[in-house]
Amino acid sequence: MRGKHGAQTDGAQGGARRARGKDAARARLDRDEPFDLYKTPGFLVRRLHQIVVSACYEGWGDLDISPVQYGALMAVRAFPGIDQRGLARAIAIDRSSIGTVSGQLERRGLIARRTGTRDKRNKELFLTAKGAAVLRRAHPLAWEIQDRILAPLDARERRVFVGLLAKLVERNNALSRAPLEPTGFEAD
Amino acid sequence: MRGKHGAQTDGAQGGARRARGKDAARARLDRDEPFDLYKTPGFLVRRLHQIVVSACYEGWGDLDISPVQYGALMAVRAFPGIDQRGLARAIAIDRSSIGTVSGQLERRGLIARRTGTRDKRNKELFLTAKGAAVLRRAHPLAWEIQDRILAPLDARERRVFVGLLAKLVERNNALSRAPLEPTGFEAD
DNA sequence: CGAAAATAGACAGTATACTGTCTAATTTGT
DNA sequence: ACAAATTAGACAGTATACTGTCTATTTTCG
């Protein structure tokens, strides 16, 4: 950290010489290794994810959709009639979560679920008019939200960051338990 | 609603038309806007977060700790006697989640919770011997996990990525609903 | 001092994200 | 053809992460 996360972190590791009352804590710190959690990519990724989710709820406001729901709506619009499993693969969420998500979207009338004609095990998903309307409002806002999050970076940094992020995600796809399989819709 | 996107809802309202595989999907894609979800930072961040969590569970294996639990243990070791609220601020999780997390860690005997002596509303948290042992095993593995995730990037790219990530997280801290307040431990 | 405000924690409720298991429907392999 | 394997979805269970509300305790201040 050392100024990375701000000067107010002295309690965490700096200025050991001026320790007064917190000897126990500081002793622990100096002995072994510093409290370096804040520098680890894992921690930072979790934080950024929290930030993205918050920014989405705030940015979409009364649309009241989550990032995952937005992704699901986008995918259902792109691939009408897609089944739940296919949707899960297309937006990289778990086979189990997709049931909850599509259930919510159906309950709110944003998508329609219909038992498959060809294969009765399937539920085919379609965007409703209401869902399409929500998506039309949500889409431009998504770009605003994104701009807001990326605001601290200049244009070049944004490109670099998103590029490296995409590379990491792509190359680690298999590591995830719900890997992305973008093909998604291979009917027939 | 029927004009622009209406065709996509046909299936929902009755047109039992059997999309002729990829052609139908592709037509939808080309018409309006591409299915650009995969390029958005929000989606990528969610994916990377999933990947980090998976990699942690896999990497820590029988230690059976989550990234958040690891962070909590690290913080409790660094700040023995910290209260739950302070811990929440130190690792940037919600005041409510921290109750669950510290409850689990206590149940597994990794930390001890003791009602505050000075302020009886507080629960003071301490690492147990067992918790310390877990942490000693977990810590080197954390670096392996991290290296594994960052493997697709070379040394320079890693520095750049982590730097930009840290910048985004730091500058958007307030945007999150559980902002990080690294001070954490201001005893007396 | 004593009432009001503030705070810590607990609990109920919701959404994401995973595991594992179960049923129903379909595909397969002999 | 028909039993076995596979698949889609649903459901129960767990962990994270948030909101809101409630109680107990402490602090503030009139």
Helix (H, G, I), strand (E, B) or coil at B118: coil
- Residue closest to A161 by CA, chosen among B172, B56, B47, B40: B40
| A27 within 8 A of A42, measured Cβ to Cβ | no
pLDDT per position as a tens digit, B118-138: 888 889 999 999 999 999 999
Q: Residue type for A54, please?
A: S
Predicted confidence (pLDDT) at residue B31 exceeds the cutoff of 80: no
Residue A72 has pLDDT above 50, yes or no: yes
CA distance A188 to chain B (A): 6
B183 pLDDT exceeds 50? yes
Chain B residues in contact with A86 by the CB 8 A cut-off are none
Strand D close to B72 by CB, under 7 A: no
Output the distance from A122 CA to D6 C1' rounded to whole Å. Answer: 14
| pLDDT value at residue A175 | 75
Please give the protein residue whose CA is closest to the C1' of the nucleotide C19: A96
pLDDT in tens, B142-170: 888 999 999 999 999 999 999 999 999 98
Residue in B177, B183, B186, B8 with CA at minimum distance from that of residue B94: B177
pLDDT grade for A183, boundaries at 50, 70 and 90: low
* String of DSSP letters for chain A: -TBTTBGGGGGTTS-GGG--S-HHHHHHHHHS---GGGGSHHHHHHHHHHHHHHHHHHHHGGG---HHHHHHHHHHHHSTTEEHHHHHHHHT--HHHHHHHHHHHHHTTSEEEEE-SS-TT-EEEEE-HHHHHHHHHHHHHHHHHHHHHHTTS-HHHHHHHHHHHHHHHHHTGGGSSS---TT-----
Which residues fall inside 7 Å of strand C, measured at CB? A 66, 68-69, 93-97, 100-101, 104, 118-121, 176-178; B 46, 50, 53-54, 83-86, 95-96, 99, 102-103, 113, 116, 119, 121-123
Q: With H, G, I as helix, E, B as strand and everything else as coil, classify residue B164.
A: helix
Residue in chain B lying closest to A59 (CA) = B175
